Amino acid sequence: MKFSDSFLDEIRARLPVSQIVSRRVPLKRAGREWKGLSPFNKEKTPSFTVNDQKGFYHCFSSGKHGDVFTFLMETEGLSFPEAVERLAGEAGLELPKPDPQFERVAKERLGLLDALEAAAQLFEDELMTREGRDALLYAERRGLTPQTLKEFRIGFAPQSRDTLKGALLKKGFTEAQALEAGLLIKPDDGRATYDRFRNRLTIPILDAKSRVIAFGARALDPASEPKYLNSPETRLFDKGSMVFNFARARKAAFDKGELIVVEGYMDVIALHQAGFTNTVATLGTAFTERQMEQLWLLAPEPIICFDGDNAGEAAAARAIDRMLPNLREGHSFRFAFLPHGSDPDDLVRTKGAGALAECLAAARPLIDMVWLRELRGHAIDTPERRAAFEERLERLLAEIGNARVKDHYRREVKSRLFSLWRPKGARGGKQPANAASSQGAGGATPVPSSYGFATTITLALINHPWLLDRFAEEVASLEIRDKPLAALLGFVTRTIFEGDGITRERLIEAVEASSHGKLLAKLARESAFARLAFLQPESPEAEVEEHFADLIFRWRALPSLNRELQEGAELLSDGSDAEFEQFAELQQQVASAGSQHASDDAGDREFGEKFKEKIAQVTRDKGSWQKGRRPDHRR
């Protein structure tokens, strides 16, 4: 239903924001405003303000802002019409009259709701009859108390084909209403209608206003199929947008700031009875966008609780693909897995509520589930398989619709890849536990590096932190022999990844405040590399990226070039001028690379002296080296 601006303004004028907010948040006067602790985040210093003159509240810790309507929607999970209806009553205003068409549809819906309520009452009564004794014993064996049976309005549908039909007709409901409410079935062959639910334990499904809109029914005969039978979709009941136990769980979820999502009715009822009153279920359907929105009304990161078996893991894997496109700022999911072979009902009955609480406390974020699913699904023991792993992750991240969330997921994945591909024994960062096993015997071999190259790489990242986002894998594969410099580079890379778009200034402040501050000051003061043009903050981004890529290339290529020259020099023999020119060109590549880093590595210096002697000999003898040994190291 639509409401006019004038009607909404009248409600706002009659109800100060502080009056509505103060029921949930203790407020203290602060000048023209009111202040209190945020109802959205746990905090010790008040950051929540209310301004009655301007008619809004603002939470500095969460960024949430709104009026009396949005406050009820944010804190109680009400829809906008529900919030308007409640506040209009408090303000002493009557809701606007709907148009005739709307009124007719509303009356029809009320008729269906009345029929469903009558069915729920009949089923409740039947549970206490002689015929319902088996159903009652089944409920008791499941550990349900009389209080729980009453609270969830659990009942029994008799075996007869027309018990409910006859009762509804006697109360004045029409057969058409019972059919439309999903309570009867009409055979295609023209035979008489009959009751949909027979010899089953019945569980009413309620809407957000706690009205019965459908039923779930559990078969009592082990041979009956299906074991659980839901009402069909009707004008009132849309399975893809419904969440079982939404109305009961709403207050508890807001109070605890947490929502538990399980797979079935009985799990919800058992957990509710065990004290987890913030539990809902998705009626056995795949997660839909509408259901996710319903869940997010109750908590920003619902915990999806799956059975601890292969089916539970498969269900989690399927859920991931449906969740990613719908993620947005501050709204995601966490995943809790129960011990193998357990479901929530079994766990709380056999091991108590504490066992479930431990599982919930260990819930993992969605990014972990994405990462583990792809990591476990395929081997990554060869370069090709590792490339395929990265490609699968990139494809998944492309499904995220929210640009900001997608950017943060990409940063997180790059950070994890940086750690995963880091060779065994690499310094400057902590290697994850699963990295060694994933690389196997064919893992990358650490590349020897010189102090000059390492200094330049480190200074480049400090002056241009964005480089790491584009060269994470390359930087991770480089080993630094100098321990203090390796530690500095490790601190820099971790700070960049964790800093969410960190600037050069903030990064330098972080380094200076750390144990690496003295080394940075020494490099900036004494190192000639600090004055290289492309390291300067004002250098064009394209130029910086080109020089950095070339630096990485040279660092990787230099050991290979040295080996080639050593082998080539050992194979000197008489040959053509063209062959000698090839050898001289290779020497120039090494000389060029060496001049870039002014290596202080003893091994490099020793090789340089020996190389000069070989070149002199080649020049005198006009020797040449074996054909086909000059590698092409150009990009």
CATH of the domain at 37: 3.90.580.10
Please tell me the predicted confidence (pLDDT) of residue 522. Answer: 83
Q: What is the pLDDT of residue 175?
A: 94
Q: What is the pLDDT of residues 76-93, one digit of tens each?
A: 888 888 899 999 988 888
Q: Has residue 223 been placed in a domain?
A: yes
Is residue 142 domain-shared with residue 246, that is, in the same domain?
A: no
Q: How much is the pLDDT for 439?
A: 34
Looking at residue 564, its pLDDT comes to 47
Say what the pLDDT of residue 575 is.
44
Handedness of CA 23, 28, 34, 35 (dihedral sign): negative
390 in the same domain as 534: yes
Percent of the chain residues topping a pLDDT of 70 = 79
Answer yes or no: do 388 and 535 share one domain. Answer: yes
Residue 379 counted as domain residue: no
pLDDT at res. 345 = 86
Q: Does residue 633 form part of some domain?
A: no
pLDDT at 4: 80
φ, ψ for residue 371 (rounded to 5)? -60, -50
pLDDT of 360 over the 70 cut: yes
pLDDT given at position 35 = 92
Which backbone phi and psi does 262 adopt, to 5 degrees?
A: -115, -175
CA angle 121, 193, 221 (to 5 degrees): 65
CB-count burial class (<10 Å; 0-12, 13-18, 19+) for 436: middle
What's 211's DSSP letter?
A: -
**What pLDDT was estimated at residue 528?**
57
Domain end call among 49, 73, 91: 91
Residues 461 and 416 in one domain: yes
Residue 268 lies in a domain: yes
Rounded to two decimals, the pTM is 0.61
Q: What is the pLDDT of residue 579?
A: 45
Share of the chain above pLDDT 90, in %: 38
The answer to whether the beta carbons of residues 551 and 592 sit under 8 Å apart is no
Position 342 confidence tier, pLDDT thresholds 50, 70, 90:
confident
307 and 417 belong to one structural domain: no
Residues 148 and 272: beta-carbon distance below 8 Å: yes
Same domain, 142 and 190: yes
String of DSSP letters for 150-184? HHTT-EEE-SSSSHHHHHHHHTT--HHHHHHTTSE
- The mean pLDDT value for 503-514 works out to 89
Q: Based on the fold, state whether residues 396 and 505 are members of the same structural domain.
A: yes
How many domains does the chain fold into?
5
Q: Are strands 303-308 and 364-365 parallel, antiparallel or unpaired?
A: unpaired
- List pLDDT tens digits, range 34-78: 999 998 888 888 889 998 878 889 988 888 889 999 999 888 888
Indicate left, alpha or beta for 327 from its phi (over 0: left) and psi (-120 to 50: alpha).
Answer: beta
The pLDDT score that the predictor gives to residue 1 is 63
Confidence of residue 558 (pLDDT cuts 50, 70, 90): low
Q: What is the maximum span of the chain, computed from C-alpha positions, in angstroms? A: 118
Last residue of a domain, one of 66, 91, 116: 91
227: domain CATH number? Answer: 3.90.980.10
- CATH code, domain with 349: 3.40.1360.10
pLDDT top residue among 123 and 490: 123
E runs forming strands in 462-539: none
Strand partners, 304: 261, 335
More confident residue, 287 or 122: 122
229 shares its domain with 109 = yes
> Is residue 129 in some structural domain?
yes
440 lies in some domain: yes
More confident residue, 481 or 66: 66
Q: What is the pLDDT of residues 579-623, one digit of tens each?
A: 445 445 544 444 444 444 433 334 444 444 444 444 444 444 433
**Bridge partner list, 262:** 281
The Cα-based distances of 634 to 545, 552, 592, 629, 631 in angstroms read 17, 13, 13, 15, 9
Place of tokens 């809109």: 213
Q: What angle do CA 557, 563, 564 make, to 5 degrees?
A: 85
Q: What pLDDT shows up at residue 502?
A: 85
263 and 332 belong to one structural domain: yes
- Residue 447: per-residue pLDDT: 33
Q: Above 60 in pLDDT, residue 246?
A: yes
Q: How confident is the model at residue 14 (pLDDT cuts 50, 70, 90)?
A: confident
Q: Is the domain of 345 the same as that of 272?
A: yes
- The domain boundary, picked from 179, 209, 237, lies at 237
Give yes or no: residues 339 and 389 share one domain: no
- For residues 301 and 414, which has the higher predicted lDDT (pLDDT)? 301
378 within domain boundaries: no
**What's the pLDDT tens digit per position in 201-230?**
999 999 988 999 999 999 999 888 999 999
The whole-number average pLDDT for the span 434-452 is: 39
Whether the predicted pLDDT of 10 surpasses 50 = yes
- 125 & 192 share domain: yes
Contact 332, 302 (CB under 8 A): no
Which pLDDT does position 167 carry in this prediction? Answer: 96
Residue 445 has pLDDT above 70, yes or no: no
| Full residue range of the structural domain in which residue 249 is found | 241-373
How many CB atoms neighbour CB 89 within 10 A? 12
Residue 173 has pLDDT above 70, yes or no: yes
Mean pLDDT across the chain, nearest whole number?
80
Report the range out of 14-18, 40-44, 427-431 with the highest average pLDDT.
14-18
Nearest CA to 121 among 72, 154, 161, 83? 154
Q: What is the pLDDT of residues 344-355, one digit of tens each?
A: 888 998 899 999
Whether residue 128 has pLDDT greater than 90: yes
Q: What is the pLDDT of residue 204?
A: 98
pLDDT of residue 390: 92
In the three-class reduction of DSSP (H, G, I as helix; E, B as strand; rest coil), residue 616 is classed as helix
pLDDT score at 367 = 94
Band (630; pLDDT cuts 50, 70, 90): very low
Could you give the 3-state DSSP secondary structure of residue 467?
helix
Residue with the larger pLDDT of the pair 431 and 106: 106
**Is there a domain that residue 635 lies in?**
no
> Is the pLDDT at 267 greater than 70, yes or no?
yes
Band of residue 567 on the pLDDT scale cut at 50, 70, 90: very low
